[in-house]
Structure 1
Amino acid sequence: MKFKLYIFLFLLSSAVFAQNKQIETSIDTTKNKIGAEFKLTLKTVVTSTQKVEFPKLKNIGALEVIQSYPIDTVKKDGTYELIKKYGLTQFDSGRYTIPSIKILIDKKPVFSDSLKVEVANVKVDTLQQKMYDIKDITTIDEGIGNWWIYVLIVIAILGIGAFIYWYIKKHQKKKIEEEVYKTPIEKATSLLNNLEQKELVQKGEIKEYYSELTDIARNYIEEAIHIPAMESTTSELILAIRTASTKKKMTLTPETVENLERVLRQADLVKFAKSKPLDFEITEDRNKIQKVILTLDNAIPTENPEEIEDQLLNEAQRQKQIQLQLLKKRNARIGYSVAAVILLLFVTTTFFVATKGFNYVKDNIIGHPSKELLEGEWVKSAYGNPAVLIETPKVLKRMDTQKVLPKEAMALIKEMQLFAYGSMIDNFFITVSTSKFKQPTEIDLSKALEGSLKIIEAQGGQNIIVKQEDFQTNEGIQGVKGYGTMTILNPQTKTSTKAYYELLLFKQDQGLQQIMILHEEGDTYANEITTRILNSVELQRASN
């Protein structure tokens, strides 16, 4: 998802929040105890023809809406005062900001004011409260609950074993095809049988078929008659065979040589002229090659011609038996090897899962993107003006603000720079930005924080829970820190993930410096990255 600069906090802080006071906002108390109710009241005065819509909310900022009260209506001199109350609570101590709420008046958005509240712990009177002994630690059997982990391990190991078996068998098959045969005729006959089993013609691979067919014939001629057939052209090979038949006193009929020449020239047309023979022609060419090879082998003078003839008759059957025996032996060896590998993987993985835990095995064997960022080579650099000096696992890339900010927003800014790594839907996302305004502006960091969160919400952030506190760099520069969780919606996969974020904001004389970090909630490696980044933050003072 293309990052649209999160159109920046501070711009919205001065533009979005500066509006007419059509909504009066109040709260019954700004300090309360954990679990106690705050009552947020929104009031507006409208005419009888105006339509007001108050939102239905489950959460307002980090506070939970425990009750949405009915709207009270009070008539005053031809106008109506509408009063809407929300009952809020929080079960964690701290200082919180109630963000602005959007109300629709005649379908036009109007925003309430933001308020700050504080939730304090309930003090326990240890003198009056009866104390009890600490109970013994209870062990919990987690074996049943984690059964799916072991199922995944077994499936992964079986998958690895199947791949190893397939890989070894594939390469062993090639080795079988490359076996050294006792005689050239034995090799040629076997290769012709294997060629038919590949079914290249049925697959439409005619060129490959003719190439292998003629290579079988050329190899046989080279090994049996000792002619450089593989390096010769068709004409050279035919001439060499005729010469060899005379020297070696081989009895060859003109038909045998002509059949060989026809098939070789047909193969040349298929390979170089893209000729496409008919099916019956392909079958005839194959039979011709087989007959030529057998005829050539019979024509070679031998001491025992009867023995050679018997060998030719039984060659196909003998070759199949040899290959079958070789396959059985190799399959047995493959099976033993794969079983040993699977057993070794299972024992090793089980040992590490039992001693180190499943997450350790997953992160160190399968890999974890945040872990790779944490353990990679970090870069310390200065970004923006006034500069933000920060250490990050990757170099931040400059973003083009002209393509991101609207023209009316850019009109307010004298200078703005933005740098980022990743995006909101990645496993780790960080931005650093600096800006200066053209006109003197009193920046409220709390409202700037709210503006930033609204932009994040527009970019796919949902159910944003925010906590706010003061932040101070190692050099003593004061700022505001917002942090909490949200749900990130991925527009491509239509899935959502729970994310944790931290926002740092610092104001200069006429500008703002901001750092935002966002990552998947519960990612311990990303938490370490965030801590290291925030500890490295240094700020350059703005020059007038």
Structure 2
Amino acid sequence: MKKYIFFAAFLFCLSNKIFAQSVTVQATIDSLQILIGEQANIELQVAMNKNQKAIFPVLSDTLVKGVEIVDIAKPDTQYLNNNQRLLITRKYTVTSFDSALYYLPPLEVKVDNKTYKSKPLALKVYSMQADTLHPDHFFGQKAIMKAPFAWEDWWGLIICSLLALPLLALLIYLIIRIRDNKPIIRRVKVEPKIPPHQQAMNEIERIKGEKIWQKGLAKEYYTELTDAIRSYIKGRFDFNALEMTSTEIIDQLLEIDKTEDISDLKILFQTADLVKFAKHNPDINENDANLINAIDFINETKVVEEEQKPQPTEITIVEKRSLRAKIALTIGITIISLSIIALFVYIGIQLYELLA
């Protein structure tokens, strides 16, 4: 019985010891000796369970008198023992400008409101050794070293210079153009006007060649055929037949020439109206007959002209430069001028920085 009690007490003590050692705080320094102005790194590591919370010390710009803090890095966290433990590391960079042996006190870390301390550290700061035997001896001024030539420092200048040259040439050209104000000379080729009957016959030949009535497109066929006749009537008799109905066209033609026989034309218009508005489906013979009626009407009413076809003529038109063109030239000159100025300013700044 006593053995069991002793064994239980041993396990209890062991568990307390393990629990007490579950949090460890350790501080290390990478260099125990530095020269004045050099830097040393202090690492503060905290090992604890993953469910615990650590609060690192809040330090100002001085660790102890004579030892200044240059930088405090962010904590670095690592997971250990299958993510059951945490190892948090924080780095402090310190320096000193007074030669002495400095005692760095322990750093305190709170884990779950309990304070843990690291071991104290020491830092020895040395000063530069002075030549006390030859106090008047000193080294002279070193010669000025020239920076090595590197093409990458000059590429921007070279590209800007090459870009400035064509812009400058374009600017000179635009300035000359806007100052001379020479008239703009254009040559226009004037084609002779095709007579109305010839235009109509060309359109009818096209309709005849396409043979769209054989494809079951009677409405399209009569629409194109009557449009060709309407255009011819407008050019030949000088009234707007394109905007008139078939009956109005027939009445207008009868008023112009009461003796003219236009019965075939009337049949053509009546058939076209039936096809377009009453869904009439004429046969092939009726379609051919109406095409012939259109051709006969044109041949009977056309004006006889000279057989020789007039040749196209070429005329010369002299125009002054418009206000819009002048404004465009002025805007272009302004934009190019500003671009060139910006390029030269950039080139000057870069040359000054490279040669200074």
TM > 0.5 fold call:
no
Bigger helix fraction: 2
Structure with bigger gyration radius = 2
Q: TM-score, normalised by structure 1?
A: 0.20
